[in-house]
Amino acid sequence: MEKIRGFFQDSLANELIIGTDSHAYNSYTVFTTAIVAHRVGKGATYFYKTNISHEYYELRSRIFKEAQLSINTANWVLKSLISEDFQKISRIEIHVDIGEKGPTKELIKSIVGYITSNGFDVKIKPDSYAATKVADRHTLRRK
């Protein structure tokens, strides 16, 4: 949290964007949650955490797990911010790796409803870069 506070120190238009992505391998699943700290008009930085689960998740369960990890992270960030920090953040949103095309289109209504019912704005593909670009790059094996 100290790095996020420092990054936002001199700016008033700040956004926190949280996204989780996953990748299933033969015997495990990698989940990565990214926190993107964006100073509007001045750049961004990100932080991430990767968890490895030795369970198999079918697509629906995996997408709901991604949403839950993002919600948990967003709630943790909110609890960690002191009031003066919170005033410097204009928006907190959650990005999810689902979209109108492909097998995840059937999950849009339920996932978006799940996240908004927890009090957060949500973005899906193609606008969900925290999940589809930032977190995604840390779920894949490096050769």
| 131 assigned to some structural domain | yes
Phi, psi of 30 (to 5 degrees): -100, 125
Q: What is the pLDDT of residue 78?
A: 84
Q: What is the CATH number of the domain that holds 131?
A: 3.30.420
* Residue 13 structure tokens: 């238009």
How many folded domains does the chain comprise?
A: 1
Does residue 143 sit within a domain?
Answer: no
Q: For the purposes of burial, counting CB atoms within 10 Å of the CB of 47, is it exposed (0-12), middle (13-18) or buried (19 or more)? A: middle
pLDDT greater than 80 at residue 138: yes
Name the H helices within 37-95.
59-80, 83-86
In a domain, residue 16? The reply is yes
Highest mean pLDDT among 6-20, 25-39, 83-97, 119-133: 119-133
122 within some domain: yes
Asked whether the beta carbons of 33 and 20 are under 8 A apart, the reply is yes
Structure tokens of 136? 């995604």
For residue 107, the 8-state DSSP code is G
Q: Is the pLDDT of residue 23 over 50?
A: yes
For residue 129, the enclosing domain spans 2-138
- Using the predicted structure, report yes or no on whether residue 8 has a pLDDT greater than 70: no
Residue 114 belongs to some domain of the structure: yes
Residues 98-116 have pLDDT tens digits of 999 999 999 999 999 999 9
User: Tens of pLDDT along 32-88?
Assistant: 999 998 888 888 889 999 999 999 899 999 999 999 999 999 998 888 776 556 666
Q: Look-up: residue for tokens 């299933």?
A: 24
